[in-house]
Structure 1
């Protein structure tokens, strides 16, 4: 039998006592907790409610402590359950919200209309479609599907990660009176790339709020339709940081880095304060441009944004390392790395790879050894940097050892990037036959980057026969890259084999490939291209306004 516990469930059900208004940090919270324990922890329901609300919702970074305390409450009421579920859903670990709801069911505690929106938002955040659909079934069972807040959240869940048909079915005449479900359904279609339906809904909205505008601007920006995004951006009655972030991230995504930086300057002129998402997009633009001066200015802006607080988020600090490394300033990248308090695997990967591709191979390998003394486990990207360092340092034996450690001890399946590093390492060392043997033994097919790397090594070491084999593989994959022909032609020419050079030039002409005027092949440029290829994957940022 379900037990129904009565207690006000709304977040602002009364004016908060002064003692909780003064609880502004973790230390004062623990002092209040100690006092509650001395005076009988479970004796005052009002104090327990306030304690849970403050710990789970108001103080930053205390949700884990809230879970520890909540576990010792003898009979938490529905308000405390809802508060814990809400705080967990908004945290970095929303799974706990679903676990709490499961515990409620196990204890036969009946949820109310505040419970389900929080649980459904956790499912949406995790993209747990089956669980969210099951929760929808519980909503129907308990008779809350007609509740405005619950129905709006159901539309939000199904539109974003469930079924748009279900979301559309829930979007009935009663829901159409509220701007929230309009925005949720519009966002669902925009997220799936169906901008025509999203725009139709947007145009039909009886009232548009800022969320609605941001949804459409972000949808266009994500699809690379920046002209349409800019048109809406210019029309929006008011803007917030999310609006600006959508435009900046959209320009970065399209490779229009200068426009992204111009948008940032425009943002500052109108007095809009950037946030972490803004800066992550701008750092990405600087890294792609390789413009160190602008990168330094953005770094200064970040410090100003944090009011001089050097304890930036690890995400931002990792992006700074990546930017400085790709702009060729390994020293600045290392400075940022050394001041990171909470280094994660991305921090180590960024600095190891950055040092390796900036000619500091020994320092990169030293840092890898330092990483191994920590409790952070290396991943596939870590070994890309390590193998690249071995390649640049000419440490073939050490490279092979790390490759074997990666596969046998760390149980990491080699990717094409790992094989690319190994081929590059062997090619640089002049071990061209070993490089070809490695390619023949690969479990995956070599791509054009690998064959191009090997072709370049054959040119450096003057091996025409193996170069012809590499070139044949390249032409089988692609026939429109003039650089592939030029490399082989130049190799023939360097050995005085003019007939071979002429044949390659004729093959190039017959294929309709035009050599770009003023084009030259510089090894340093190849290194930079290889670095961007090997480290092109960036951590996904799930934050407001981020594309």
Structure 2
């Protein structure tokens, strides 16, 4: 059988550059296309240099193209071949730009292009521009793209459909929809790629309706869509969550005989899942003959997002290859559906199995779960893992770490992460401002906002929400009014409903209830349930029954099933001794099936999360916990503590039962557990799902002094740092 080495050895050795340059039909060149590995190509390369054939521009370009484009090609080797060519022809320059544009170093394609323009006698042609424009798109460089667009026009190549399609892709990559559309409209004879680029780009930029409109125009102009078109159209359907139209698209594909490849099947599957049609997705998944990691992950992610966790787990266990994207889908599904314990359990399983290595998405989701639970020990382990693995802290991870430390009660560590960050975007700044706000450090949050203004980073809507929250928790009414009034005229950010809610909360907490009502009446947008909820919460703080009834009425008009509104009003009635009104409201809640959210507190000890409900006796150590609680109460009474029975929210006539009911609050059980089993050198960190009551707040202050322990308690609204008998909130919460 003939081998590639035999003819190489039998080639005439008397070939000279002169004879080679006049003949492109050299036998050696015919073997280049028959190479099956890099060693064979290198043999030909060596022979071409020895015989002088390499110095013929045509021959060297053929060798270079093979070294760059064949399946076994190596970019490093191809670059070395290129650098040996004395005078590369235009085809060779174009090929190198093309290879770099599709590589991990697209910027090298731009640098080669500049070298070509400066060092070679060639001007870029219609084959050069699509490759170099792609390289600019890969690095999202609008300025370079616009410069290339200018060169295209100067070279009278603006009508070339391939170049125009590349420019459309570039402008969409850089987020410039109008520029992309302008190029599209200038194309005389649009091909299917032109339409596909526009439809896909519009869908990806959230202009789903426009994408579907363009698809209808494409049909009207008798341009036959292909599988890529339908992927773009399905993406638009998915963005709109339009299942009905998505099903029509599927029937259209079938009617028009469009080839359904794996990519298109995955797009259909994703559309069904995102639009909530689990049955359609299952049916398609079961009949798909070919499946890849995207297929499996789409199913898993869909089940997880819809709360079908057992089904999601079955998919993970059945997958032929469990890559990190699949694990991320399950962790993220739990975390986004407020199941942080389950998310952390999957993360621990992933680490122990070592099937896949956690990536940035894994860590962001897991840190978010830690933040929800207040699981700082686990969060610290993740931070240590990031350092150990030398994972570079991008803005996503930095934001997640700041959020985790802030919500777990360690604002100092959150600040350490913030100040050590190499790069800070608006989300990093906003997260740190939010952290300071929830810890009651309003002045520090405002100072940080001032520092942000000295940088090039512009605040966004979220930043202002966090700044206003900082003002609310610190009682900074004057400052809040200034920031609110500056939002649109100074920063160009129109106040949204959350900003109005913050202002009502600020005024209400400060006792300016009438001003809060006047503010609501003058709002240019319709007050939402959050606005009336803020007013109702302020009424609870200040015991204003009449205004509470007004706020509750408006709130229930907007959200009749809001059990929190009934509970707040009931609590206000209870605090003011209106027990008949309490009974009436609670009877209504029983009849309508509305249930009060039960008080729940969690505490992390040695990396384990312990959960306590009000009056809980389910914990295996309940006996010891209640004995410790009795000891705490006795010690507190010995130094003058008197239970504040005005915080009882149910009518109990016997004094001893009243006191017992107060002692059953979940945060008191968590404090007792922390004193028993937490390390004396570490703060007792507690997370509560509801607002801490005044009696528990008083007990925590006294315990911090009596037992010389720092207690950090996060309730629904903010953090309380108890130390030496004082609280960081200064009793303003």
Partners of 1:405 and 1:91 lie apart in 2 by: 36
Partner residue, 1:210: 293
> Quick one: which of 107, 111, 121 aligns to 2:158?
107
CA RMSD after TM alignment:
4.5
8 Å CA contact 2:437–2:469 kept in 1: the answer is yes
TM-score (norm 1): 0.76
Partners of 1:501 and 1:67 lie apart in 2 by: 82
Partners of 2:224 and 2:143 lie apart in 1 by: 23
> Quick one: which of 271, 276, 297 aligns to 2:381?
297
Cα distance change on mapping 1:503 and 1:195 into 2, 3 Å: closer
Matches within 5 A, 1:74-473: 75-76=123-124, 80-84=128-132, 86-87=134-135, 107-111=158-162, 116=193, 119=197, 125-126=204-205, 130=210, 151-161=226-236, 164=246, 165-166=248-249, 169-170=252-253, 175-176=259-260, 178-271=261-354, 272-304=356-388, 307-309=389-391, 311-473=392-554
Cα distance change on mapping 1:349 and 1:133 into 2, 3 Å: same
Matches within 5 A, 1:7-22: 12-13=69-70, 15-16=73-74, 18=76
Residue range with higher mean Cα deviation, 119-128 or 336-345: 119-128
Partner residue, 1:529: 716
8 Å CA contact 1:52–1:66 kept in 2: the answer is no
Cα distance change on mapping 1:243 and 1:463 into 2, 3 Å: closer
Partners of 1:98 and 1:123 lie apart in 2 by: 20
Partners of 1:424 and 1:433 lie apart in 2 by: 12
Partners of 1:161 and 1:381 lie apart in 2 by: 27
5+ residue gaps, structure 2: 1-61, 167-192, 238-244, 600-613, 615-664, 666-689, 698-711, 720-733
Partner residue, 2:100: 54
5+ residue gaps, structure 1: 1-6, 24-31, 146-150, 494-499, 533-547
Partners of 1:257 and 1:94 lie apart in 2 by: 41
**By how many angstroms is 1:396 displaced?**
1.6
**By how many angstroms is 1:326 displaced?**
1.9
Partner residue, 2:586: 508
Cα distance change on mapping 1:56 and 1:341 into 2, 3 Å: farther
DSSP-derived class of the 1:273 partner: coil
Partner residue, 1:535: none
8 Å CA contact 2:505–2:535 kept in 1: the answer is yes
After superposition, the C-alpha distances for 1:294-321 in whole angstroms (9 at most, x for unaligned) are 22122223333xx325x31111111221
State the number of aligned residues: 498
After superposition, the C-alpha distances for 1:63-108 in whole angstroms (9 at most, x for unaligned) are 8878988998964456644444555665567999999899699533
After superposition, the C-alpha distances for 1:280-299 in whole angstroms (9 at most, x for unaligned) are 21122122222222221222
8 Å CA contact 1:9–1:82 kept in 2: the answer is no
Partners of 1:246 and 1:406 lie apart in 2 by: 37
Cα distance change on mapping 1:122 and 1:456 into 2, 3 Å: closer
Cα distance change on mapping 1:235 and 1:373 into 2, 3 Å: same
Partners of 1:419 and 1:194 lie apart in 2 by: 37
Partners of 2:113 and 2:410 lie apart in 1 by: 44
Partners of 1:97 and 1:360 lie apart in 2 by: 46
TM-score (norm 2): 0.58
8 Å CA contact 1:456–1:487 kept in 2: the answer is no
DSSP-derived class of the 1:375 partner: coil
DSSP-derived class of the 2:235 partner: helix
Partners of 2:157 and 2:279 lie apart in 1 by: 45
Cα distance change on mapping 1:407 and 1:204 into 2, 3 Å: same
Partners of 2:222 and 2:547 lie apart in 1 by: 72
Partners of 1:331 and 1:469 lie apart in 2 by: 42
Cα distance change on mapping 1:214 and 1:514 into 2, 3 Å: closer
DSSP-derived class of the 1:182 partner: helix
8 Å CA contact 1:455–1:467 kept in 2: the answer is yes
8 Å CA contact 1:57–1:83 kept in 2: the answer is no
Partner residue, 2:53: none
Partners of 1:128 and 1:90 lie apart in 2 by: 22
Cα distance change on mapping 1:187 and 1:93 into 2, 3 Å: farther
Partners of 2:219 and 2:67 lie apart in 1 by: 19
Instruction: Look at both structures and tell me which one has the larger radius of gyration over its CA atoms.
Output: 2
Cα distance change on mapping 1:93 and 1:394 into 2, 3 Å: same
8 Å CA contact 2:101–2:132 kept in 1: the answer is no
8 Å CA contact 2:540–2:569 kept in 1: the answer is no
Cα distance change on mapping 1:182 and 1:261 into 2, 3 Å: same
DSSP-derived class of the 1:214 partner: helix
DSSP-derived class of the 2:576 partner: helix
Cα distance change on mapping 1:448 and 1:127 into 2, 3 Å: closer
Partners of 1:167 and 1:71 lie apart in 2 by: 48
**By how many angstroms is 1:365 displaced?**
0.7
